[in-house]
Chains A and B, each alone.
Chain A
């Protein structure tokens, strides 16, 4: 059955530019599966448009890229899109993945209480490294790739047909592989990447029903 996948892609600063560029890997998988992908890019990543699309299209999977805090995720220009005790009920019936700082810690739990099937995200800040020379070409950044190859695993696996729990475990494995690669690397800069990868790995969390799928 054709699934509906909603992706927010703000791009108002370097962090969101890299997040939004790299999440196209998930869109590619969805396109191959002939799912319907709705991308809210740049200024379209706003609260009004997000709420309208959720109500009209009833997406199966929502992937939020952006900034966040313990109880909200943001879109373009850091406008709050979904906030706990405000509109998290809109996520009811969906699987949600947020590549945004901290939102899994409070918003994730509140969303599950209001009917979200599963909420996957990071309980603390999401860290990654990039090279300034690739600001205009984020997808060519092999340093950012180390981090996004891990964080993108969840969306790719879920869209391919894995359950939430299976996709989550695959993401954890992707992090472990990346960590092992950096441990075994002879490159001095791997010393800087390791603590950040371990931080992201440690704080990736799943709330809700792990046996559900799209």
Chain B
């Protein structure tokens, strides 16, 4: 139940982030194609292959933010 709640919370976090994209933007994911904001939001909620890619990118972002910030500040 906790794992499911965490997954749902992560999805909603990602949806909130994607919602900040203006409507005319598209995101290119290489050979998978290009997707609008609403298509990506739907994909994340459905958890399909594109949604899983978006989630993976988000997790990478969360995990790396600390290291990248420290790296950038130490080089300033």
Interface residues, chain A, with chain B CB atoms under 8 Å away: 13-15, 18, 67-69, 74, 78, 100-102, 125-133, 143, 173, 176, 179-180, 183, 188-189, 191-192, 194-196, 198-199, 201-202
A143–B37 alpha-carbon span in the complex (Å): 14
With known contacts A125-B30, A176-B68, A195–B21 Cβ distance under 8 A: no
Q: Count residues on chain B whose CB falls below 8 Å from chain A CBs.
A: 28
Q: Which of chain B's residues 46-76 have a Cβ closer than 8 Å to chain A? A: 53, 57-58, 60-61, 64-65, 68-69, 71-72, 75
A192–B21 alpha-carbon span in the complex (Å): 6
User: Does the CB pair B61–A15 fall under 8 Å?
Assistant: no
Q: What is the CB-to-nearest-CB distance from B14 to chain A, in angstroms, rounded to a whole number? A: 9
B28 at the interface (CB under 8 A from A): yes
A-B interface, 10 closest residue pairs, ranked by CB to CB distance from nearest: A101-B30, A195-B61, A188-B20, A67-B31, A15-B28, A125-B30, A192-B21, A132-B24, A191-B20, A199-B57
By DSSP majority rule, is chain A's interface helix, strand, loop, or mixed? helix
State which of B27, B69, B72 has its C-beta within 8 Å of the C-beta of A196. B27
B2 at the interface (CB under 8 A from A): no
User: Does the CB pair A127–B27 fall under 8 Å?
Assistant: yes
State which of A14, A74, A143 has its C-beta within 8 Å of the C-beta of B25. A143
Residue of A nearest to B17 (CB): A191
State which of B22, B26, B65 has its C-beta within 8 Å of the C-beta of A198. B65
Residue of B nearest to A141 (CB): B25
Task: Return 29 A-B CB contacts under 8 Å, by A number.
Answer: A13-B33, A14-B26, A15-B28, A68-B31, A78-B31, A101-B31, A102-B30, A125-B29, A125-B30, A125-B53, A126-B30, A128-B28, A129-B25, A129-B26, A131-B22, A132-B24, A132-B25, A176-B72, A179-B72, A180-B72, A189-B21, A189-B25, A192-B21, A195-B58, A195-B61, A196-B27, A198-B64, A198-B68, A202-B60
